[in-house]
Chains A and B, each alone.
Chain A
């Protein structure tokens, strides 16, 4: 019985939150747009080392897209071009 009660509470909270978000849309938005698919964004290329280094950790690992908010398509391009640059020992 207690489990049922809990779920009921949760549902109630969610619906309240949804109502809040209608009235105050900006405060509760946490999503950022992809920095590489905006208009005027630089093209991902293995020669553009400055750009690639932004999306790598200090140890030379590729940062996950959940941290950098890069879109799935651009993340694929990034990882390919980072690996190309690694082969030429640019990074």
Chain B
């Protein structure tokens, strides 16, 4: 039988999903950590979208931000450092009925898990991954992270970081991610919009969210925060309205243009850099499974294995 047949239909009557219903433990983050705002934005998205409560899965690896699943009252898993993308991929592949939300930090996503990020992107697994990027290792108390800028003084670079930092947007585009966006934890409405677009995208959708570490890298993202004297510059996307001004706007399906925007100096732009349609691994595997099952006339498991054994006699 097809394992999908075992998934029962969603029960019809249910209560409204409120912020209270999706709130769990009080976060263990430092007061004024940027991650509080990300959590608040996620609660808002859940309230707004009213997904069936049991179908939401919140997953994470290891890091300050990866504590996320404890603070959200949904099915969840707190996994090991760097491997949350393959864990989340399996849940997405095996369970098309659930919505997979994955949270993590820059160390988890770009350093120890960097290879998995590339392969999740290239396979185009249907899930939404919010990377709370604070440019520093916070949980282990101020070591250089893969996104720390050159010159950043940390316990592992006392005279300033010397290694060229990862550019998350470029890395993701190059790896084959089909939805790549960037937002800022001080811009709650923008965060909500971008996360919603990410979850509506049928594919591997990643949102890099600059989220300040108040303890070990305070002020890191002030340059992108108008309240701190910076500028929050949003990508002006093409409206496809045939107007002359549309010419200059960004085409999110243009890989080279997206790459160029990602190359702008810090704090750069915010919004959707890249968004294309490419078949997901979920859909391609499902197609293979279904054509295989059709060829077998949907024979029972017992019949299929018995037939195989008959050939081994």
Mutual binders A and B? no
Chain A residues in the interface with B (C-beta under 8 A) = none
